[in-house]
Amino acid sequence: MPLPSDERIVKLANDLVAQLDTLFGLHPGFRPAHAKGVMLTGTFTPTHEAASLTRAPHATHASTPVIARFSDGTGVPTIPDNDPNASPRGLAIRFQLGEHVHTDIVSQSTDGFPTRNGQEFLEFLRAIAAGDPSSFLAGHPAALAFVQTPKPSPASFATEAYFSVTAFRFVNAKGEARFGRYRIVPGAGLEFLDDATAKARDPHYLFDELASRIAAGPVRFDLQVQVANSGDVVDDATIHWPADRPIVNFGSMNLTAFAPDDDSHRRIIFDPIPRVDGIEPSGDPLLELRAAVYLLTGRRRRQAGQAHA
């Protein structure tokens, strides 16, 4: 996959990477955001409803192998899991449709984003790096709302819900198109820790917990798509749709083991754009920009030498 031909997007992507490097420090071989993570493997099984939404292969095949990566927030590879900045957590999923053919979902545990586009996000990161984002927040209500959204520490990566944040255009076999956003809901139910309990946990508690959970049996997530009404804003990650919008049950993912290859972390570059027939990007400006950012930092990581988590 090449970088976009629009030089402004590539420039903004590079500026964002440089700003993340400034904020979190350079950690060669690690991601500049969501640096601390773990990879698992499993299977996705679609519901019958899924094909009414999209003709994408994983919605019609009986099952599709997946790779999933859970992560803490920030570009600090040693961040304690109970650090408040470790939220939002990340969940990236790759559906392996065939040899070198795949489509991804990149999701996070907060439903929303602080800014509508990358330029504003760069300004936000700069304000944080300068030590006082209060005047930025005063002028950007969506960023303020995002910062103020409670982000409690989960009891487990498997008791957290994750959101794609950006919308996609789902097209089914009849050519019918609807916009939707993924929600990835834990089969184990939501469970969070109060601040005092989180503080008392081990800095690696989420990763240790996942190891014992996987050893005991598969970890299930239900994938849902919240579908927009016509007229809903579909190209702005800061805008939530009303809660009464229909939910399509898309399928379930069962994670069964840790990924066997230690180097898979470093190699894999998740793509926020689905690039599969039947699931198209919406006009959200974050999508193309993030695809460029992740490609730049993924290539940098691959060149950095030895395997890292």
Q: Which residues bind ligand HEM (CB under 6 A)?
A: 16-17, 20, 31-34, 37, 69, 71, 90, 92, 106-108, 113, 118, 121, 164-165, 237, 269-270, 286, 289-290, 293-294, 297-298, 301
For ligand HEM, the nearest residue by Cβ is 90
Q: Are 272 and 59 in contact (CB under 8 A)?
A: no
Instruction: Compute the least distance from the CB of residue 290 to ligand HEM, in Å.
Output: 5
Q: Which is nearer to ligand HEM, 21 or 222 (CB)?
A: 21
Task: Yes or no: say if 201 and 81 are a contact pair by the CB < 8 Å rule.
Answer: yes
Tell me the closest approach of the beta carbon of residue 243 to ligand HEM, in angstroms.
20
Of 94, 95, 77, the C-alpha closest to 86 is 77
Nearer to ligand HEM, 80 or 118 (CB): 118
Decide if 78 contacts 304 (C-beta within 8 A).
no
Give start and end residues of each alpha helix (H) in the chain: 7-24, 50-53, 57-60, 118-129, 134-139, 141-148, 195-200, 205-216, 264-267, 285-302
140 is catalytic: no
- Tell me how far apart the alpha carbons of residues 43 and 293 are, in angstroms, rounded to a whole number: 28
Q: Output 155 or 268, the one with its CB closest to ligand HEM.
A: 268
d(CA 244, CA 11): 39
| Active-site position among 34, 102, 140, 265 | 34
3-state secondary structure of 10: helix
Q: Directed axis angle between helix 285-302 and helix 118-129, to 10°?
A: 60
Q: State how far the Cα of 86 lies from the Cα of 72, in Å rounded to an integer.
A: 5
Q: 209 vs 271, which CB is nearer to ligand HEM?
A: 271
For residues 60 and 240, which CB has a smaller minimum distance to ligand HEM in the complex?
A: 240
Write the DSSP string, 121-165: HHHHHHHHHTT-THHHHHH-HHHHHHHHS--PPBS-GGG--EE--
Residue 110 CB, nearest approach to ligand HEM (Å): 8
Which CB, 23 or 247, lies closer to ligand HEM? 23
Kindly state the smallest distance separating residue 46's Cβ from ligand HEM, in Å.
21
CA-to-CA distance for 34 and 88, rounded, in angstroms? 9
Please give the Cα distance from 140 to 92 (Å, whole number): 28
| Minimum distance, C-beta of residue 95 to ligand HEM, in the bound complex (Å) | 15
Taking the complex as a whole, the smallest distance from the CB of residue 73 to ligand HEM amounts, in Å, to: 9
Neighbours of 297 (CB within 10 A): 21
- Residues designated as active site: 34
